[in-house]
Chain A
Amino acid sequence: MRLLTHNMLSSNIKGVTNGFPLRIEVEKMVEKEVELNMDFLKNMFAKVEWRALVEASRSMGYSELPDEADSSMLDSDEFLRKFHHALLELHLEEGALVCPETGRKFPVNKGIPNMLLHEDEV
C-alpha cells in the first residue's frame, strides 16, 4: 500500500466522526522505485492531505518531508523527489491501519488493505 492510498482511506465505522487519517502500524515495509512523473505529482499534490502524509511517512521511517508545503515548492526538484518518494515509493506490505477514534485495526496483507467492516460496525 502506497502512502497515496493511505492518504485517501478513512475509517467509516458507524459512529466515528473523524476517521481520517488512519494510524499506520508497520510490520513489513519495502521501498519500491517508481519513475517520477511530474504532471501526476502536481495533480496529486492538489488532492493530498499534507499533514497526514508527513505523519504517515514518519511512521514508515522517512522524515525528510517538511511539516508544511505549498504548491510553489513543486518547482524545486529536491522537494519533488522527496514528495515522490514518500507518496509512491514507500510501501506497507504487512501491518495495519488503525482507526483514530476506535483503535480498530484494518489489516494490510501483501500490500492490500482490508477495509471491510464487521457486522456491528455498520
Chain B
Amino acid sequence: MYFKGAGGANTKRHLWGWALPSSTSTGFIASKSGALICCRGRLSSTVFTSIRTSGSGIRCRRRLRMSINAAATESLQRGIAEFYDKSSGVWEDIWGDHMHHGFYEPESDASLSDHRAAQIRMIEESLRFASLSDDSLKKPKSIVDVGCGIGGSSRYLARKYGANCQGITLSPVQAQRARELATVQGLADKVSFQVADALNQPFPDGQFDLVWSMESGEHMPDKTKFVNELARVAAPGGTIIIVTWCHRDLSPSEESLRPEEKALLNKICNAYYLPAWCSTADYVKLLQSLSLEDIKAADWSQYVAPFWPAVIKSALTWKGITSLLRSGWKTIRGAFAMPLMIKGYKKGLIKFAIITCRKPA
C-alpha cells in the first residue's frame, strides 16, 4: 500500500472504489480508499495529511513497521469490522463456517462440494506442519484463535483437542455469530469469543499452548507488533501457527517490489482492507528476532490455487449473485477483486504461506 500522504494534492482520486497509487515507491498507509468511497465523504483529509512516509532505501524492520497514526488504525479497524459485519453472512451461506482457503491437490479442479473438506484439510495440514501432537499429555489445552471469523477454527480445534479456545475478532457481528454457532454445536463451554485487537491482545502473557492465526495476518498494519503479540501470549513451549498471504520474497538486490506488482497488490488491498504486505522471509526474520525456536516456513500457493476459481464459480451462481447484491457494495467489491488474486498467484507475486515456530520452554 503505497500512498504518499500529503492532503488531497498528491493523493490520486478514486475510480470505482479502487485507489490509484501515486508514483512513489515508499511509505505505507492503512487502506482508506475503500472506506472513503463507501463512507461518502464522511472521512476527513486528516487521515492523509497525518500519514508519514518512510524514505527509500529502508531496511526490513522499518519496512514492516507502518508509520500510521492511531486515528488511521482505528479507521482501518472499523473498515475491517464493517467489511466482515456485512460480508460474513454471504460467505457463511455459500461457504460454511470456515473463512479460509481450502487445501487442494495441486492443479485439481475444485468445486463447491469439495470446499468444506478442503478447508478442514487446511487446518489439519497446518497442525501437521507444526508437528503438533495429539498425545493427551502434550496436546494443546488452551488455544487462541487470532482473527477468528465466525469461529470455524476455534470450534474445530476445541473439539479436536478437547481444549479451551478463545477467539478474537474486530467484528461484533462475527463474534455474535461465532457464539451462536458454538452454542448450537454444544461447544459453548469450550469456546468463547471477544471483540478485540490482535495488535493489543487482551490477555496476560504466556496463556496459550497454541496460538493460531489462520489468514488474519494480512489485515495487520504492523507486522512487528502482530508477531510480538503472538509470541507474548504463547505459553512457554507453546506453538505458534501463522497461515497468511505474503508477497514473494525480495531478492538480495531489491529494496521493494516492482511498481506494477505494488499496483496489483494495492487494488487487492483496497477491496479486502489489507493494509500492508510483507514476505514470508520477513515473518521468519521477525520470529528469529524474538528468539523463537524451530521456525519453519513453506509456500503453499499451489495447494490453494484451485480455491479462487471455485469461489468465483460459486459467486456466479444465482444464489451467489443475489446474495452479493443483498450484502452491499463492500462485499461486491471484494468479489470483484477475486480475479486479481488469481492474477497475483499466477504471477508468483502472491504467496500463500505457512510459518510455524515454538516458544522456548
Contacts and interface: CB of A to CB of B under 8 A. Distances in A.
A44 B70 CA distance: 36
Q: Which of A2, A4, A8, A10 has the most CB of B within 10 A?
A: A8
A39 interface: yes
A116 B188 contact: no
Given A5-B194, A40-B190, A112-B195, A119 B74 contact: yes
Nearest to B77: A116
A10 B176 contact: no
Interface string A17-50: 0011000000000001011010110011011000
B192 A44 contact: no
Given A9-B202, A34-B189, A113 B71 contact: no
A122 interface: yes
A40 B195 contact: no
B203 interface: yes
Contacts of A46: 141
Nearest to A13: B200
A100 to B, nearest CB: 12
Given A8-B203, A10-B204, A119-B71, A47 B142 contact: yes
A19 B201 CA distance: 12
A1 interface: yes
Nearest to B203: A8
A116 B170 contact: yes
Contacts of B172: 109, 112, 114
Contacts of A116: 77, 170, 195-197
B164 interface: yes
B240 to A, nearest CB: 17
A98 B164 CA distance: 24
Contacts of A9: 194, 202-203
A44 B200 contact: no
B179 interface: yes
- The binding surface of chain B is classed by DSSP as mixed
B193 interface: yes
Interface string B314-337: 000000000000000000000000
B70 A114 contact: no
Of the four ranges (under 10, 10 to 19, 20 to 34, 35 or more), the interface on chain B belongs to 20 to 34
A2 B187 CA distance: 12
Contacts of B196: 113-116
Nearest to B209: A47
A86 interface: no
Contact of A37 (B141, B162, B188, B207): B162
Interface string A33-73: 01101011001101100000000000000000000000000
B200 A122 contact: yes
Contacts of A2: 189, 192
A39 B77 contact: no
A122 B190 CA distance: 30
B175 interface: yes
Given A115-B202, A119-B71, A8 B193 contact: no
Interface string A100-119: 00000010011111111111
Given A5-B194, A112-B172, A116-B170, A11 B202 contact: yes
Contact of B194 (A32, A44, A113): A113
B166 interface: yes
Contacts of B71: 119
Contact of B188 (A10, A12, A34, A106): A34
A88 interface: yes
Given A112-B175, A114-B195, A116-B170, A44 B164 contact: yes
A88 B189 CA distance: 6
Contact of B162 (A11, A20, A39, A110): A39
B193 A112 contact: yes
Interface of B: 70-71, 73-74, 77, 141-142, 162-164, 166, 168, 170, 172, 175-176, 179, 188-190, 192-197, 200-204, 207
Given A9-B194, A39-B162, A40-B190, 14 more contacts: A2-B192, A4-B164, A19-B204, A46-B141, A47-B142, A106-B202, A112-B175, A113-B195, A114-B172, A114-B194, A115-B168, A115-B196, A119-B74, A120-B70
